[in-house]
Amino acid sequence: LAAVDVRFRTGMVEVFRGASTHKLDDKARLIVPKRLLDRLPAVDTNFVLTASQDRCLLLLPKSAFDAKAGEFDIDPLGGDADRCSRLRRFLGHAEDVKPDKTGRILIPEVLRGFMGIGKDREVIVVGTGNAIELWAPERWNRARDDGAGSLSDGTTVESAAG
């Protein structure tokens, strides 16, 4: 994955892009690519790993996670069931992670189960703007194929590329 600085909202944020395949080690740690870590400010090498609505995991710089969490109305007793479900998934599964000296982060068992990682321990790492998605290969292939050919606004990938 590569990261580049761009202006977004009120400050500088990393835009993560690209996809690659990795394997968890025997202790369920994933190596975050060094080229990605090197692009982040030293003060922002703390991440939050959480569950997404797409049954993958989101790895966000802590500052990006905090900004997104601030958008929630964090009252679990108020609001509709759908909002409470999103709140429960995003905040309830959130784990602080910090890469060790070799750039590895631990993927907790509950999150490995959530993402459906197989016995081969293979993980697809996908940059999606200000987050990094971690996918089980089967789910990634299905999600990629389901969304192939169009963007959220209905524009085709081919026409957006020029």
- Predicted TM-score (pTM) of the model is 0.77
Of 156, 151, 158, 122, nearest to 19 by C-alpha is: 122
Confidence check: pLDDT of 147 > 70 = yes
Task: Report pLDDT for 152.
Answer: 52
Confidence check: pLDDT of 149 > 60 = no
Task: Report pLDDT for 41.
Answer: 64
CA separation for the pair 121, 24 (Å, rounded) = 5
